[in-house]
């Protein structure tokens, strides 16, 4: 196909460019839809009702702490579903190298900028897998001496837990499969899929 003036796809995706996306030849394409965008939206509305109730009457605005980058969309949608006063901050950590296995060590890439001392803080995670990232975050954020520290996670994969972590609000419990979409990536790809898909690794 010739590249027309209205074709905004990057050149490497076009069949006449000669270049091929490596993920498309090595397998690792998003497969079965596990959670649809409609199911996510409905569950977020329920979670927001629970969270609104849990913080009703709390002193000061809640700090929603987005754990970058996976919970970007979840934080954005949850924040807009909540009625309580809130602020948003973000923290970035990395535990995965390339691929679908955790490296086992957690690295802080970007710290919070809001002073969290005496504040009610709700960490917003995309998925809890081994629990290593979350236990690191609990310890790290506790050092700021928040008034309270809780966790909401869109997804939970309890089958792979290596460290026990408390999840105060949970969207969906999934079987032990690597998933992508709605913020979750494979080597930075597929975050923008509207639903959550199991990765077809065949």
Which residues are identified as catalytic?
129
- Whole-angstrom Cα distance, residue 37 to residue 128? 20
Closest CB 57 distance from ligand IMP, rounded Å: 31
Q: Distance (Å, rounded) from C-alpha 116 to C-alpha 112?
A: 8
Binds ligand IMP by CB under 6 A, chosen from 30, 129, 171, 182: 129
| Position 183 contacts Mg ion (CB under 5 A) | no
124 binds ligand IMP (CB under 6 A): no
Q: Which of 70, 131, 171, 181 binds Mg ion (CB under 5 A)?
A: 70
Applying CB under 5 A, the span of 36-44, 66-74, 112-120, 165-173 interacting with Mg ion comes to 66-74
**Of 124, 32, 122, nearest in space to 77 by CA:** 124
Contacts for 89-97 with beta carbons within 8 Å, 24 or more apart?
89/63, 89/64, 89/65, 89/113, 89/114, 90/65, 90/66, 91/65, 91/66, 91/67, 91/137, 91/140, 91/141, 92/67, 92/68, 93/67, 93/68, 93/133, 93/136, 93/137, 95/132, 95/133
Applying CB under 6 A, does 130 fall inside the site for ligand IMP? yes
Question: How far is residue 133's CA from residue 95's CA, in Å, rounded to a whole number?
Answer: 7
Q: In this complex, which beta carbon is closest to ligand IMP, that of residue 119 or of residue 157?
A: 157
Task: Output the smallest distance, CB 185 to Mg ion, in A.
Answer: 5
133 interacts with ligand IMP by CB under 6 A: yes
Min CB(19)–ligand IMP separation in Å: 26
Contact residues: ligand IMP, CB under 6 A: 70, 95-96, 102, 125-134, 178-180, 184-185
Contact residues: Mg ion, CB under 5 A: 70
């Amino acid at each position: 196909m010739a590249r027309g003036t209205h074709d905004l796809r990057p050149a490497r995706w076009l069949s006449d460019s000669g270049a091929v996306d490596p993920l498309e030849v090595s397998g690792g394409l998003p497969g079965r839809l596990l959670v649809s965008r409609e199911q996510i939206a409905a569950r977020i509305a329920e979670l927001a009702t629970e969270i609104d109730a849990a913080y009703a009457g709390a002193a000061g605005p809640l700090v929603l702490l987005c754990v970058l980058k996976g919970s970007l969309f979840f934080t954005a949608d949850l924040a807009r579903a909540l009625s309580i006063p809130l602020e948003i901050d973000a923290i970035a950590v990395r535990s995965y190298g390339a691929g679908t296995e955790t490296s086992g060590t957690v690295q802080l890439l970007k710290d919070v900028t809001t002073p969290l001392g005496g504040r009610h803080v709700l960490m917003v995670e995309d998925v809890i897998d081994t629990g290593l990232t979350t236990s690191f975050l609990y310890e790290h954020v506790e050092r700021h001496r928040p008034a309270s520290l809780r966790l909401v996670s869109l997804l939970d994969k309890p089958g792979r837990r290596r460290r026990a972590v408390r999840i105060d609000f949970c969207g969906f419990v999934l079987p032990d499969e690597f998933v992508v979409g709605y913020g979750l990536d494979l080597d930075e790809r597929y975050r923008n899929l509207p639903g959550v898909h199991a990765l077809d690794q065949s």
